[in-house]
Structure 1
C-alpha cells in the first residue's frame, strides 16, 4: 500500500471560532481602530473637504463591510467554500489599499494645515492619522494570513 501525502484541507471558522482563528481574530481590532478613524475625522473641521470625504468614505465603507463580513463568518454563511477564502483575501487587500491612500491623504492634509488649525484639532487629526495607519497594518496582516489560508485550502 502506498502512503498518502495528502494534507488536511483548511477550513473557514464559524461561530465563536472567529475569535480564536488566525486571520479572523483581527476583525474586532479592525472595527475598533477603523471606528476611531471615523469618529476622529468626523469631529474636526479641515478646510479642504474632498480628501476628508475620501477618508470618511474609506473608514465607513471598511467599518460596515468588516462588520458584515464578521457576521457572515460567525453565522457560517460561507459554507466552508474556497471561494469565500479568496473573497476574504480580496476584500482585505482592497481595504489595505483604501486605508493606505486615506492615511496618506489625511497625513498630508494634517501636515499642511498644522499652522491653520487650533492645537486641539491638530492633536485629533494626528490621532486619526495614527489610527488610520494602525488600521492599514491590521488589514495588511489579515490579508497576508487570508492568502495563506486560501492557498492551503
Structure 2
C-alpha cells in the first residue's frame, strides 16, 4: 500500500484506492449503508433515538460519498483539506459512537419485549444493526486517527 508522506498532497484519482487511510472509504460505504438499511427495515420504536441513528447513518453515508468523489476528482489539493479530512472523520466518529450506544440501549430494551411476544426477526435485525454500527464507528475512528497523523505530517 502506498502512503502519503510529508511532501505529498492528498491522493486524487485512482490513488484513493491504494493510499492509507483513504482505502477505508469503501468499507465505510458498505457498513454505513448496512446500518442504514437494517435500521430502516425494523419497527421504529421509540422514534427519537432511532431517528438519531437514521440521521447519523444517512449523514455519514452522504458525507462519505461526497468526500470520496471530491478525492476522486482531485478537488482536495488546497492546504486546508487535510485538516478538513481529519475533522470530518472525527465528527463522524462522535456521531456514530453516540448513535451506536443509543441503538444498543434501545435494542437491549426491545429485546426483552420482542422475545416475549416471539418477534425474533426484528430483534435479530436490530442486533445486526448494532454490530454494524459499532463496526462503522471503528472504521471511522481508524480513518480519523490516520487522517490526523497525515494532517500533522503535512
TM-score interval (norm. to shorter):
over 0.9
1:82 aligns to what SS in structure 2? coil
Runs of 4+ displaced beyond 2 Å: none
Alignment root-mean-square deviation, CA: 1.1
Q: Which runs of 5+ in 2 are unaligned?
A: none
Which of 86, 89, 93 matches 1:92?
89
CA radius of gyration, larger in: 1
1:116 aligns to what SS in structure 2? helix
Q: Name the structure 2 match of 1:152.
A: 153
1:121 is the counterpart of 2:110: no
More helix by share: 2
1:107 is the counterpart of 2:108: no
Structure 2 Cα separation of the partners of residues 107 and 129 of structure 1: 6
Cα 1:119–1:8 change in 2 (3 A) is closer
Structure 1 Cα separation of the partners of residues 68 and 44 of structure 2: 33
Cα 1:89–1:20 change in 2 (3 A) is same
Matches within 5 A, 1:9-48: 9-48=7-46
Cα 1:129–1:17 change in 2 (3 A) is same
TM-score if structure 1 supplies the norm length?
A: 0.93
Which of 45, 48, 54 matches 1:50?
48
Cα 1:9–1:35 change in 2 (3 A) is same
Structure 1 residue 47 displacement after superposition: 2.1
Q: Which runs of 5+ in 1 are unaligned?
A: 1-6
Cα 1:147–1:121 change in 2 (3 A) is same
Structure 1 residue 78 displacement after superposition: 1.1
Q: Name the structure 1 match of 2:140.
A: 139
Structure 1 residue 8 displacement after superposition: 4.7
TM-score if structure 2 supplies the norm length?
A: 0.92
